Homo-oligomer: A and B are copies of this chain.
């Protein structure tokens, strides 16, 4: 398969796939003309990566997950640990965003939003 084919089938842009090769996540073979030549197993990896990335795993997490994915003798606890760590990071992010949302929505609610200059939002940002 050429890169366009795997791109379509994995849902990843060609640019991203080249990048993943660059950083060593996949290592497609090369055809005589220099084109990348992907095996089914490469496609599986890329699909896996696409899913993992869409769940927000970092590239380094993906690298570790991919290694476990490839390792028939893995322990599921290793996978679970990575996933739980990521889950904790997601929870933290949600909490941070919720706190911002809370503060900001208060300010927005109090702002008249008319053509006068008085603005509780700016006041909130100015002081404390």
Contacts and interface: CB of A to CB of B under 8 A. Distances in A.
A31 interface: no
Q: How many copies does the complex hold?
A: 2
A52 B125 contact: yes
B116 A75 contact: yes
B105 A75 contact: no
A121 B83 contact: yes
Given A47-B126, A83-B121, A90-B104, 15 more contacts: A51-B125, A51-B126, A65-B125, A68-B122, A69-B122, A69-B125, A69-B126, A71-B117, A73-B117, A75-B115, A75-B116, A76-B121, A79-B122, A80-B111, A80-B119
Interface of A: 44, 47-48, 51-52, 54-56, 65, 68-69, 71-77, 79-81, 83-84, 86-87, 90-91, 93-94, 97-98, 100-101, 103-105, 107-108, 111-119, 121-122, 124-126, 128
